[in-house]
Amino acid sequence: MSQKKYENQQPEQQIQQSTSLWSQMAGQFLESLTDKNMTATMELQNIEIDVPKARGPDGRDLGGAKWIVNGKIVWTTELHKT
């Protein structure tokens, strides 16, 4: 998404749209692996994941986090005929 689309939005809206975009892209990627014999590798370098603050059912602050991910994710799919 371009930066212009985000300029007039609140930070919460920006996060929701960014999260939605990422989840759509991941879904499309995983769908492309369905019913195929293949291996796909994603290499991650300094991917930052901001986990927003949350509140428990009693209103207690559960906090948030910032994760930095480095490494590989490997998906292997195998087609079975039934």
Strand ranges inside the chain, DSSP E: 38-55, 61-77
**How many domains does the chain fold into?**
2
The reported pTM is 0.41
41 and 63 together in one domain: yes
Q: What is the pLDDT of residues 43-77, one digit of tens each?
A: 989 888 888 888 888 888 888 899 998 999 887 87
> Does the pLDDT at position 17 exceed 90?
no
80 and 41 together in one domain: yes
**What tokens were used for 44?**
């991650």
42 and 28 together in one domain: no
> Does the pLDDT at position 16 exceed 80?
no
HSE-CB of 28 using CA atoms within 13 angstroms? 6
26 and 49 together in one domain: no
19 and 59 together in one domain: no
47 and 68 together in one domain: yes
| Cα gap 20→69, rounded to integer Å | 19
For residue 9, the enclosing domain spans 1-34
Cβ contact 67:49 at 8 Å: yes
51 and 80 together in one domain: yes
| Cα gap 16→12, rounded to integer Å | 6
